[in-house]
Chains A and B, each alone.
Chain A
């Protein structure tokens, strides 16, 4: 086991443990803070995989932007910290069987498959390549994402507005 493996397991444990707390915590503020560690762990794994740009974006957008907004939302909302969240579990046996089967299939696939391997040196930075791809080969995807965000904005505004009775 080399140093890379150790770092990977460290980030993986951070991600998984905090994710469990996000789901099981009864206090919504605790959940939000635990989500911070989940996002951070995922960003670490991205960096380890050589996807430096995505790692930075993950930190900037999720940790720096979305999570802070989420926390503001929670803190500025009256009474939300006192709300009793229901975290109970129902149908444990069928759920365990289903999840177990899925887990078995996925782990079998992860180990038995000949994944395609492309030998190429890890670039110093992926940002320029990503940028070039986004305005050439994937320009349509890029533009369509813009429209998707516009639709999301309109939809969010439409849902959030208070309706007159």
Chain B
């Protein structure tokens, strides 16, 4: 038998191999250096950095990896393309940001010796996410999602001494188990209908006329239930506020950015390779008429953003508010997918890049305040503009950007989504999204009102942030501002990276 194709596949998964080795090193060094967890942190940081270098060097590499050794067809378990690499870069960069975040968050530092487990589980999450971005076989899709889920269930309840952490972990586990059971059932239906789990072969099957509509539609909805849970879209979002509130802030930020990015990458690839018959000259996707993804996605995304934005209005806990805001942002990004064209995908890529910077930044401020006052209540932010002007300024920039006002990066992200919507004649949907943005302005500005317009009491003390935290915040907020004005590098990168390897 010929194993050359398997060896050749190894060069496609260098970042994943790096992360796996790092994971093993973390486990070993965690045992050797029982007292000093700095080393484990450094190893993790180094490993993720190496993986990022591998990914950036091979950004435009395309190919199928792990195809059958008997050569019956060319399509494998993984598909490497620039689209997947872009999401890998997002996942890895956000991991680097979260690693610094974790190392400066009291919640994590206070766990002491358990930090080794924390970083090992985080690497497990990362590995699952990396495979999710390139999985093109339903078995790989399910397995990588389980790897991500298992690690994040534990991390969501990592601080076991608080009740709400255990609640978060259990809720996440129960909802996750149900949705992954649904997804698995959908996958088994598709296997029964087509006799294959490979997305490309499923697509070939759909091109033929002998199709059973109803079972396929049901299977599609079931698979969407599994993915919708990961990206917290509307009917499957109920876990999000509770889990985001209970989990350590660093993990909340990680879940809201990286885990969502991986879910979106998986979903777009599933849609493009599984259900799109061909693209026309304008880059619009011609879908197989077996299932009306277009209507489903528009309905779900409008529901998601409206529910997210309106629920956020009443939240006094900042973590909960940001959780609902992240649901709303998932709605905007789903709209980009619903356009069903390469232009829509470009918009989603741009949006994600900016969303990563501003959301992690916002959560970092929440973490600093939570470390100081031990609560995430909105009153902890009263007259922050007086107590710590730098922190308040940075937080304001992130909030304005999350709203989507110029001159911040969030505006550019939303702009590209709206342009894609208008270009494909979805004007009514664009108007609804715009009105949603207006609603979201209220709860973001409300925080700024507390920071600047609440008069400080007589004996209010100012406090300062550590220099390294300040540099981190300035770096993030400056890039949010700078990319709001000079955004062409990100846009060009995203335009280069829409190559989803199709049939």
Convert A122-140 into 0s and 1s, putting 1 for each residue whose CB lies closer than 8 angstroms to a CB of B: 0000000000000011111
In the complex, chain B residues whose CB is within 8 Å of the CB of A108: 214
Q: What's the dominant secondary structure at chain B's contact region?
A: helix
Contact of A139 among B6, B153, B160 (CB under 8 A): B6
Query: A151 contacts which of B3, B9, B121, B195 (Cβ < 8 Å)?
Result: B121
| In the complex, chain B residues whose CB is within 8 Å of the CB of A113 | 192-193, 212, 214-215
Report chain B residues within 8 Å CB of A139: 6, 66
Residues of B within 8 A of A144 (CB): 131, 140, 143-144, 147
Is A76 an interface position by the 8 A CB rule?
no
Q: Is the CB of A151 within 8 A of B66?
A: no
A109 on the B face (CB < 8 A): yes
The interface bits of chain B over 459-486 (1 if a CB of A lies within 8 angstroms of the residue's CB, else 0) are: 0000000000000000000000000000
Q: Which residues of A contact B78 (CB under 8 A)?
A: 140
Q: In the complex, what distance in Å separates the CA atom of A137 from the CA atom of B169? A: 35
Inter-chain contact B158/A158, CB cutoff 8 Å: yes
Out of B117, B139, B161, which one reaches A141, CB within 8 Å?
B139
State whether the Cβ of A3 lies closer than 8 Å to any Cβ in chain B. no
| Docked pose: A151 CA to B23 CA in angstroms | 9
Residue B154 lies at the interface, judged by CB distance under 8 Å to chain A: yes
Within 8 A of B (CB), among A87-115: 105, 108-109, 112-115
Task: Please tell me if A20 contacts chain B, counting CB pairs below 8 Å.
Answer: no
Chain A nearest CB, measured from B200 CB (Å): 15
CA distance A109 to B217 in the complex (A): 11
Contact flags B162-201 to A (C-beta < 8 A → 1, else 0): 0000000100000000000000000001001111000000
What residues of B have a CB within 8 angstroms of the CB of A118 in the complex?
195
Residues of chain A within 8 A (CB-CB) of B127 are: 147
* Complex-state Cα separation, A141 to B135, whole angstroms: 11
Partner of A137, one of B66, B121, B212: B66
Minimum CB–CB distance for A87 against chain B, Å: 17
Residues of B within 8 A of A138 (CB): 77, 139
Asked if B77 and A151 sit within 8 Å, CB to CB, the answer is no
In the bound complex, do residue B195 and residue A116 qualify as a contact, i.e. CB atoms below 8 Å apart?
A: yes
Question: Are A141 and B140 in touch, CB under 8 angstroms?
Answer: yes
User: A42–B440 Cα gap in the complex (Å)?
Assistant: 51
CB-nearest residue of chain A relative to B157? A159
Asked if B69 lies at the interface with its beta carbon under 8 angstroms from chain A, I say yes
Given A112-B214, A141-B77: A136 and B147 interface contact (C-beta under 8 Å): no
- Of all chain B residues, which has the CB nearest A163? B160
Known: A151-B124, A154-B117. A163 touches B193 (CB 8 A): no
Chain B residues closer than 8 Å to A155, beta-carbon distance: 117, 121, 150-151, 153-154
Does A10 interact with chain B (Cβ within 8 Å)? no
How long is the Cα–Cα vector from A145 to B193 in the complex, in angstroms?
26
The verdict on A1 contacting chain B, using a C-beta distance below 8 Å, is no
| A152 close to chain B: CB less than 8 A | yes
Assuming the contacts A114-B212, A137-B66, asked whether A147 and B124 have C-beta atoms less than 8 A apart, the reply is yes
CA distance A73 to B144 in the complex (A): 30
Q: Is the CB of B143 within 8 A of A141?
A: yes
Are B161 and A163 in contact (CB-based, < 8 A)? yes
Q: How far is the CA of A157 from the CA of B114 in the complex (A)?
A: 11
A148 at the interface (CB under 8 A from B): yes
Instruction: Tell me which residues from 40 to 94 in chain A have a Cβ below 8 Å from any Cβ of chain B.
Output: none
CB of A142 to closest CB in B, whole Å: 10
Chain A min CB distance to B134 (Å): 11
> B27 in the interface, Cβ–Cβ < 8 Å?
yes
Measured between alpha carbons, how far is A109 from B9 in the docked complex, in Å?
38
A5 near B: Cβ within 8 Å?
Answer: no
A158 near B69 (CB under 8 angstroms)?
no
Q: Which residues of A contact B161 (CB under 8 A)?
A: 163, 165
Please name all residues of chain A whose beta carbon is closer than 8 Å to the beta carbon of B498 when the two chains form the complex.
Answer: none
| Pick from A105, A112, A140, A145: contact of B66, CB under 8 Å | A140
Contact check, A148 vs B218: say whether CB atoms are below 8 A apart: no
Closest chain-B Cβ to A98's Cβ sits at a distance in Å of: 13
Q: What residues of chain A lie closer than 8 Å to B193, measured between beta carbons? A: 113, 115-116
Q: How far is the CB of B261 from chain A (nearest CB, A)?
A: 20
- The 8 A-B pairs at the shortest CB distance, nearest first, are namely A155-B154, A151-B124, A116-B195, A158-B117, A109-B215, A136-B69, A113-B215, A137-B68
Other 19 A-B pairs with CB < 8 A, given A105-B218, A151-B151: A109-B214, A115-B193, A118-B195, A136-B1, A139-B66, A140-B13, A147-B23, A148-B143, A148-B150, A150-B27, A154-B120, A155-B117, A155-B121, A155-B150, A155-B151, A155-B154, A158-B154, A159-B157, A163-B161
Instruction: Please report B residues at the A interface, Cβ cutoff 8 Å.
Output: 1, 3, 6, 9, 13, 20, 23, 27, 66, 68-69, 77-78, 114, 117, 120-121, 124, 127, 131, 139-140, 143-144, 146-147, 150-151, 153-154, 157-158, 160-161, 169, 189, 192-195, 210, 212, 214-215, 218
Can you list 13 contacts pairing A with B, beta carbon distance less than 8 Å?
Answer: A108-B214, A115-B192, A115-B193, A139-B6, A141-B139, A144-B144, A147-B20, A147-B147, A154-B121, A155-B121, A155-B150, A158-B158, A159-B160
